[in-house]
Amino acid sequence: RANQPQDPGSCGSGGEWDDDFGYGLFPERSHGGGKQHQSMLYKAVFTRNHRCQLMLQIALESSPYTKLLLDAMKNTGCTVFKNRHFSCKECDGCVSGGFDSSTSQIVLCQNNIHHQSHMNRVVAHEFLHAFDYCRAHVDWFNNIRHLACLEIQAVNLSGDCSLLNEITRFKFGLKQHQQTCVKDRAVRSILAVRNISKEMAEKAVDEVFESCFNDHEPFDRVPHSRADAKYAHRDFQNHDRYYAKF
Ligand SMILES: [Zn+2]
């Protein structure tokens, strides 16, 4: 499992904890002894799981990134089923999600995803890993440069670096923010699964950056916003319809 891509979230940067799901963090809150504490923990996990499933459902039905990727997977012969290919789980640390190629499952970290917009990005990001795996039928994750390439593509095309995200991270006005943000986050994703130095991860990202940054499959452009993704999805459907005639 350690060599599968897992993607770090942002829970270390603060302000992401939901107070009502904090029982595990603040055990002194439960005064009723072990049994009550256990049932409260169980209830919190159950609630998180339920909420994760609901947010996943919304992402699959309404996010243009996800809708395009669902169509693209289907065209490539890898039809995706919500119940078989997604799993909401409790994860360690700040990981938000991962793709497990041995089971073809996208794991969503229910304890680290608190907002619908975050869920949309994680689903799109892991979906791009699933798409690459479906397309190539090869497990690239053991090769550091291939892993770097997968992360560059997933970060670039999932909305991880959309302008709105960057504004909230106080990087507004940064020139070429897309390139910088993609490099930055790809390095973080590699470091989350590989026990290598930051310099080695940066070197791998730099070596493959040009070609991987410019590969937008299955999008026809870099979707910088939800609107971009919507147009990309519309064009993808039209393109599909055109070819279906012949
Ligand atoms: Zn990734």
- Give tens-digit pLDDT for 173-201: 545 778 888 999 999 999 988 889 999 99
Ligand 1 geometric centre to CA of 147 (Å)? 8
**pLDDT for 51:** 96
Going from the Cα of 149 to the center of ligand 1, the distance in angstroms, rounded, reads 10
Answer whether residue 10 shows pLDDT above 90: no
Please state the rounded mean pLDDT for residues 139-166.
83
- Per-residue pLDDT, 21: 32
- Find the 182 Cα to ligand 1 centroid distance in Å: 11
Catalytic residues: 126
| DSSP output for 193-207 | H----HHHHHHHHHH
Give pLDDT tens digits for 197-238: 999 999 999 999 999 999 998 988 888 888 888 999 998 888
Residue 152 Cα to ligand 1 midpoint, Å, equals: 8
DSSP of 133-161: HHHH-S-GGGSHHHHHHHHHHHHHHTTTT
pLDDT greater than 60 at residue 32: no
- The full set of domain ranges for the chain reads 17-62+79-115, 139-228
User: Around Cβ 57, how many Cβ atoms within 10 Å?
Assistant: 13
Q: Is the peptide bond before 8 cis (omega within 30 degrees of 0)?
A: no
pLDDT band at residue 66, thresholds of 50, 70 and 90?
very high
pLDDT exceeds cutoff 70 at 39: yes
- Tokens, residue 20: 């009502």
DSSP code at position 183: H
Residue 153's pLDDT is 94
Q: Quick one: pLDDT at residue 13? A: 41
CA 31 to ligand 1 center in whole angstroms = 41
- Find the 120 Cα to ligand 1 centroid distance in Å: 14
The answer to whether residue 41 scores a pLDDT higher than 70 is yes
- Helix, strand, or coil (residue 9): coil
Q: What is the mean pLDDT of residues 18-38?
A: 47
* pLDDT given at position 9: 65
